[in-house]
Amino acid sequence: MTKNQAEPRALYLHSVLTHRSGSALMLSLIHKHKWRWRRRDIKHPFHEHPLVFVEDQSTEGEKAYCSACGDVISDPYFSCPPCNYHLHLNCALAPERISSHPLHPKHSDFFLRERPYPGDEVYGCELCKEKRNMFFYECRNCYFSLDIKCADLSSSFSKVNQESKHDFHPHPLTFIPSPMDEFKRFNCFWCHQPLIDAFYFCFQCPSFVFHKKCFDELPAKIHHPSHLIHSLFLDSNVTDSFCKLCQKQHPGYFYYCSLCNFNINIICVWPRSIVEVKSHHQHSFTLFWRRSQFICDACSTEGNYMSYTCSTCSITVHKDCISLPRIIKFSRHDHCLSHKYFLETQDLTKQDCKICFNEVKLDRGSYSCVKSGCKYIVHVNCALEDDRFYEVVERESQCEELYGSSAESTQSSITRVVEVSEDGEATKIEHFSHEGHCMVLADKMEEETDRRCDGCMLPVSTLFYYCSESECHFYLHKNCAELPRVKRHWFRRSPATLDSTSFGRCDLCKRPCSGFFYVIRGFYICLRCAEVPDVIEFQGHEHLLFYDIKCRERCNGCGADPGEEGAFRCGKCSFALDFKCLSLPQSAVHKIDQHQLNLTYHDDNDYSKHLHCDICEVKRDPSLWYYCCSICDTSAHPDCILGEFPFLKDGITLPYSFHGHHHDVQFHRTAEDYPNCSSCGQRCRREILKCTESTCNYIAHFEFRWPILI
């Protein structure tokens, strides 16, 4: 950045209010320094043409709008007339990076972005909850983003720990003494009146929004229509409990009846009696205080207390279900899904949810595909279980745009086809992962060698590409070579980008791996896991298995507990598999047996002699997976056959720095002559790291060092 560019940006950084605030300070600074831009243009990173400084706006023609904040343009501003692209002065000079923001204290570093931006996900502003085509600041560590307007008006907020007669909220509260126009469309959750006076809100709990007056004057005792027989008292000892009204767990304080063990979270105490959300339903909903059980017509699940009723349509729903997203784009389906309270059909066969495979009640709420002829249908709670899997679509016309973006990229990982056969098949290529050398198509190895694909790290089979240089042992399965550079993966709503990083840790199977990864916003998925669909037919189980991020059942393959990413489970019986077991090869070779060993899912032999691993000689669990030879009756644990690190390429070079060692090291699957470890002094009998420098004798156990490398 030049000195001329840095000076106006510094001017902006010292001002905390924008043109919308009417700040005399900002106006005086603009008029004082506007001569700096009178006779020169600026080049903004978000526009391809230079922007011209305009001091006085012409009164002729239609109103122009700022492309950064969306407000009507006012003097002075920058403009590109041919493109009808305009920026307020302070929007044009907004810093490209801010170190911190009071509404997101847990992370630092926020970058100015432009929405929409190609090849990445669009997230709504965390303050106003809208997705507007304007500039926004995004945290580099997470999905947090703020529109430039919200970032500006909230930059001077004071975050304080509330000191009042009811110090009951667990998080710091943001105090806004004089709300601006953007906030006046919100209502206080106690009195339901607009936020025209000073108020508090908790940024970690968006539903916690209170007028300062309401907040400071909360009654210690109330009479509530949901519990007429006793009074309810604000209890400081109940800070994290189950609310009887909304049927959810809440932080913060509750109104409580000790005689009946009846709790109501303070946010749910006085809900609005009439709710009207035209974007979700054409009629208004009326609050009905009833304590009998009901089935919600929006989500098809049970409710016990408070409900809302549309008398016109004769439907009853939970409070939160009034504002269910009308249209969503679900990562596990190619088309948009629309919410319906019931489905008209002439088909008498029942329909199962495409996620959990339990029946969907057609006379209750569900999400179904908007595309004619597509019968994809899911339960509401299955579709909205985790917001990493879906995004809200504001208008149905956006669906066509999303269909195009959800398809795989046309950009192939093959950078150039050098030669083709008579039938048009690429026989010689250049690949983005192996620059400088050409790769040639073959259908079998010239000699029996254990070669692995440098993409998926599985043994090379028929139809593969090999490097044309004789000393370079680089191989790719034909399918791996033809993978798209960018694709949509069902595991996240963001696009996945192919990365040829030679070493990393898969965030699904948790293994250290060589080869290719698909990367989704810093989330790494190895090729073996990337090929697993969200619903699988598994030959070792009679029913379909579906992915469940909340599954915590022990894996039937290895007996381990699944991690935070969940596992695949059966909806009809107690059966689960984690990604680690699903990515195991179906067959393997080992020096213990001359034949191929096959992956076997359970052992029906009760004879104890057969239940020992023939490699480690430890007893096997007959209910867990193992490899065996049907000819020789050899059997062994998967880790004993494959090794603890089966998907690392032997001889791969890794950057490494530990305890004074600063050279690159190589991974070796076997250690010759069992050398002593340079760190602990014990003999290395398994995988090792060996220094690449000929004059350095550093050797270390890999099993203890690989977490440091990730």
pLDDT in tens, 548-577: 888 889 999 999 998 888 999 988 888 999
Show the DSSP H helices in 87-128 as ranges. 89-92
Question: What pLDDT is recorded for position 568?
Answer: 94
Assign domain 325-406 to its CATH architecture. Answer: 2-Layer Sandwich (3.30)
Q: What is the pLDDT of residues 377-418, one digit of tens each?
A: 999 999 998 878 888 887 777 776 665 544 445 578 899 999
- Euclidean distance between CA atoms 528 and 456, whole angstroms: 6
Question: What pLDDT is recorded for position 371?
Answer: 86
Residues 6 or more apart from 602 whose CB is under 8 A from it?
Answer: 540, 622, 623, 624, 625
Q: What is the pLDDT of residues 599-649, one digit of tens each?
A: 999 877 665 556 889 998 898 888 899 999 988 888 999 989 988 888 888
* Beta-carbon count within 10 A of 357 CB: 17
In 591-702, where do the E strands start and end? Answer: 593-600, 626-629, 634-636, 653-654, 665-668, 688-691, 699-701
Calculate the alpha carbon distances from 665 to 502, 678, 700 in Å: 13, 13, 10
Spatial CA neighbour of 380 closest among 440, 340, 349, 333: 340
Q: What value does the mean pLDDT of the chain take?
A: 79
Q: What is the pLDDT of residues 652-710, one digit of tens each?
A: 887 766 656 778 888 888 777 788 888 788 888 778 888 888 888 888 888 766 655 55
Q: What is the pLDDT of residues 127-180, one digit of tens each?
A: 766 666 678 888 877 778 888 887 776 655 554 444 444 455 667 777 777 766
Give yes or no for a contact between 337 and 325, defined as CB atoms under 8 angstroms apart. no
- Look up residue 366 and give its amino acid: S
Question: What pLDDT is recorded for position 252?
Answer: 67
Spatial CA neighbour of 431 closest among 523, 525, 516: 516
What's the 3-state SS for 436-455? CCCEEEECCCCCCCCCECCC
Q: 85-88 and 77-80: which strand pairing?
A: antiparallel
Show the DSSP H helices in 158-302 as ranges. 212-216
- Euclidean distance between CA atoms 247 and 47, whole angstroms: 49
- Euclidean distance between CA atoms 396 and 475, whole angstroms: 45
Residues 6 or more apart from 169 whose CB is under 8 A from it?
Answer: 162, 202, 205, 208, 251, 252, 253
Give yes or no for a contact between 476 and 426, defined as CB atoms under 8 angstroms apart. no
Give yes or no for a contact between 286 and 274, defined as CB atoms under 8 angstroms apart. yes
Calculate the alpha carbon distances from 256 to 231, 267, 269 in Å: 8, 13, 11
3-state secondary structure of 276: coil
- Euclidean distance between CA atoms 257 and 238, whole angstroms: 11
Residue in the block written with tokens 């969306």? 70
Calculate the alpha carbon distances from 307 to 133, 209, 298, 624 in Å: 36, 22, 11, 47
Give yes or no for a contact between 354 and 376, defined as CB atoms under 8 angstroms apart. yes
Is the model's pLDDT at 37 over the cut of 60?
no
3-state secondary structure of 312: coil
Backbone angles phi, psi at 72, to 5 degrees: -65, 140
CATH topology for 653-709 is Wheat Germ Agglutinin (Isolectin 2); domain 1 (3.30.60)
On the CB side of 443, CA atoms within 13 Å amount to 2
Q: Delimit the CATH 3.30.60 region(s) of the chain.
A: 274-321, 325-406, 653-709
CATH topology for 274-321 is Wheat Germ Agglutinin (Isolectin 2); domain 1 (3.30.60)
